[in-house]
Structures are given as structure tokens and as C-alpha cells.
Amino acid sequence: MSQSERVLKVAIIGGGMFFDDIIGQSFKDFIRGGIAGSLTSIGMSHLAADVADVKIDVCAVGTRSESSGTAGRIVQWFSDDFPDHAIEACYGDAVWKDILARHKPDVLFVATPDNVHTQPILDAIEAGADVITEKPLCLSLSEADDIIARAKAAGRIVAVDMHKRYDPFIREMMLKAPQQYGTINRVRAVLEEPLEVSTEIFAWAEESNPFAYVGCHWLDVVHHYMGVKPVSVFATGQKNLLLNWDQHHAEIASRRSVAPTSFKRTGSINTWDSIDVAVTYDNGMRGDYNNNWINPAEFEGAVNQEIELYGIYGRGLVDQQERGYREAVIGDGSRTRNPSFGGRINHHGGHLEIFGYGKASIAAGLLAIIRRRLLGESAEDLDETYPTAASQRDIVQVIEAASDVAQKNYDAFQAGKGSPVTALLTESGYELSGN
């Protein structure tokens, strides 16, 4: 990309659960008007004039299976708003390799399953592209270290979509916590995804777990705003519903008055229902993280999420269901909504635009890439301005340790030995005790 072009070419791989609502719609907004209008939400509006003329050009969308037609559907969805904007639909088991070779994008946006982030990121770095990836960065510390080292050596940006950093409610609480609440003794965080995520939407649920999938958000918030480092991990998990899905799905179908065959999956799903993780930090603080992906569809919100700080002078709580937006609709029941994540505006001109912290996180990554590529700033100078790969190292370490500890404690419990296993985190990984 030359200085005179002022165009950032973006390729996207993976459809992602929130593609149409957040990822894809954000890029529609960026194609239409650039990123300058989104910078207030990340505290970077002073740079709006410097980047206002930078155009965002989505050049390709890639997904794995051509039979699913996902990439083609997405490209058609883009063309409905931008009929003169050429985007190629690409398919393949390693579709990013073809896209990187033929389209040579400036940015690869990785929205693939949790366990398929690392190789596209590494290949993009090698091809000279910067990266924005969905969370978590990856699932093992060795992969995280590889990504971090290669990105640093190449001077590339690898941004992670940790959008809860930009939730205005959470940001307000976390920034004022040291002065208002004093020393924090404990953090309690809950994020529960609907049952359809693990049984209907994600064919790859067995390759990850609910803590890796969404617990990483709360880890990022705590580590980023509080500057703490994890030193030990205890975890337990439950495998009652999904592992026995072949036995339970018919009962759930009957309670919903639908046919059992209406579920896409009817066999056993070998993954966790829920995982509960206790982290001890270097300042003595305890973090309790509770995550599942079996929340009933009848629950009032899209997800159940809350984070609470317990300090020596006070406490703070952000509860999604208590933000005050509820509605009751015939046929849908009583529901809570969260426009702070992805609010929608239909402009007088007829087009849809979104606002909120889901879009803000993507804008933060794009801004860092523009600053490196067009404004001549170094990747190192930009480290504090977006969720970097390096900032995710401790998070991936906790995810990997917790997954191992939870499994060993599950096995021990099944053998009548309680839950004796903990992990001591080290610079290179973790050491287990009690197993």
C-alpha cells in the first residue's frame, strides 16, 4: 500500500456467530465512511483528522466448505449495499493461504473457530499482513509465544477482538475502582452463553470450552485494567448435559413442544457444560470466573453476564440484565437488550449503521494498523492502544492451565478422589500439584 493510495485492503476468513450483526456490519460501515467516526468510543478521536480519508476495502471473504455457501452468502450480503464493490468468495481447508497469495491484503481478519486461529495468523505475518483476530488469541501458551515472537520480529500488528475492554459500563467501573473501592480482594465474573451455541451454532464445540470461548473476555478486562499477573489456577467443570446430549435433547425438545429432530445435533457432544475457574493473582487478589454455554433459550437476555469487584472500601457491579432495557413481546416473552454492544441506527439516507463496543474493538485494531502502515509509527509504540497479542499471553496461559486442571479434577472426582489438582503458573507454562 502506497502513501498516496490511503486504502487498507482487508480480507476476512470465517463467518463467525456475530458476523452479520457485528463484524460484517462494522465493515459495511467502514467501507461507507472509514473509521474516523468510531474513534470516540475508544478514546482516540484526536486522531480522526489523520485517518479520515483512509478507505477500508474488503477484497475477499473465505470460509472452509463451498457446500455451505457461507462466503458466497456474505459476499452477496455486502453487494446488496455496495453493488460496485468487488469482493471474492473463497473456499478451502486453508483458504487464507490462497487469499494471502492472490489478494495480498494489508489486513487478515480471522473469525474462524477457536482452535483455528494460530496458523492463519502466522501465515498472515509471514505474507506481510497485519491481523485482527477474534478471541481467544489461541488455546496454548506455546502458540501464543510463537505468534508474539513472529509479530515482533516482523513489526506487525496482531490485534485481538477483546471488545469488553470498550464496554462503557465496565470501563467506567474498572477505571474508578482503585480510588473508589480501594484494594480489591476479589473479582467475580459470570458469562453464560445460550445452549444453541454448543448444540446448534458451533460444530467445533468439542475443540474448545466455555471458559476459553468467553471467559477470556473477563480475564482480559481484569488483567488490562488492574495490571495484575496470575500466579495459580484451580478449576473444576461439569459434563452432565452435552456429554449425554443423545439422552437429553428429546426431553428438552418436548419441553419446548418441538420435534427432537429439530436439533442439528442429536448425538453425544464431548465438551464441558460449564467450567468454574479460580485464579490467584500476584497481589493476593482472587478472581472467580464462571462460564457455561448451556443457558436456556428462554433466559431473558442473549447472554447472562456480570462482573463484580469486592474492595476494602466498596464494591462495584455491572450486570447486563440490570442496565434497564427490557421489553415484552407476544411470542418472544420478556427480554433484555444490549444496544451498548451493537446498537443499530437506520439513517435518513436508508442505510443501516451500528454503534457500540463490538464495533469499537475492531476499530481499535484497524486504527493501530493504519497508524503503523500510513502514519509511520512503530508497532512497539502502539502497544498500549489496542488489545495486542502480547497482552493475551497471560490469558492464554490461564486458559490452557484451567482446561488441564479442570479435566484432571473431573477425572479425580469420577474416581472418588475429590478435586485435588491446582496449577502453579511459571514463566514457561505451569506445574501441576495434587494430581
pLDDT tens digits, residue range 136-171? 999 999 999 999 999 999 999 999 999 999 999 999
The answer to whether 51 and 367 have CB atoms below 8 angstroms apart is yes
DSSP state for residue 256 in the 8-state scheme: T
Write down the pLDDT at residue 4: 60
Average pLDDT for the chain: 95
7-164+342-388 matches 165-338 in fold: no
Write down the pLDDT at residue 194: 96
pLDDT tens track for 65-89: 888 889 999 999 999 999 999 999 9
Q: Please give the average per-residue pLDDT across 382-389, as a whole number.
A: 96
The CATH number that domain 7-164+342-388 falls under is 3.40.50.720
Which has the higher per-residue pLDDT, 157 or 3? 157
Distance CA 414, CA 6 (A): 60
Alpha-carbon dihedral of residues 123, 61, 209, 116, nearest 10 degrees?
-20
State the Rg of the chain over Cα: 22
Of 136, 106, 135, 132, the C-alpha closest to 120 is 132
What amino acid occupies position 314? G
Tell which phi-psi region holds residue 7, choosing left (phi > 0), alpha (psi between -120 and 50) or beta: beta
Distance CA 17, CA 271 (A): 19
β-bridge mates for residue 306, sequence order: 190, 319
With 50 as the cut, is the pLDDT of residue 2 above it?
no
Write down the pLDDT at residue 251: 94
CA distances from 317 to 172, 187, 222, 342, 411 (A): 11, 10, 13, 21, 35
* Percent residues over pLDDT 70 in the chain: 99
pLDDT tens track for 281-334: 999 999 999 999 999 999 999 999 999 999 999 999 999 988 889 999 998 889
Of 223, 195, 220, 198, the C-alpha closest to 209 is 198
120: preceding bond cis by omega (within 30 degrees):
no
Task: Supply φ then ψ for residue 275, to 5 degrees.
Answer: -135, 135
Distance CA 363, CA 257 (A): 43
Write down the pLDDT at residue 433: 96
Q: Report helix, strand and coil shares of the chain as percent, to nearest 5.
A: 45, 25, 30
Locate 303 and state its grid cell.
Answer: 447472554
For strands 352-355 and 343-346, give the pairing. Answer: antiparallel
With 70 as the cut, is the pLDDT of residue 8 above it?
yes
Write down the pLDDT at residue 319: 96
Find all residues with CB under 8 Å of 51, minimum gap 6, and list them: 34, 35, 36, 39, 367, 370, 371, 374, 375
Residue pointed to by grid coordinates 479434577: 409
Tell which phi-psi region holds residue 333, choosing left (phi > 0), alpha (psi between -120 and 50) or beta: left
Q: What angle do CA 361, 363, 366 make, to 5 degrees?
A: 115
With 60 as the cut, is the pLDDT of residue 1 above it?
no
SS3 158: strand
Crossing angle of helices 168-181 and 216-226, rounded to 10°: 40
Report domain extents, the chain. 7-164+342-388, 165-338
pLDDT tens track for 176-191: 999 999 999 999 999 9
CATH fold of 165-338, please?
A: Dihydrodipicolinate Reductase; domain 2 (3.30.360)
Write down the pLDDT at residue 435: 85
Chain centroid to Cα 235, Å, comes to: 21
pLDDT tens track for 274-285: 999 999 999 999
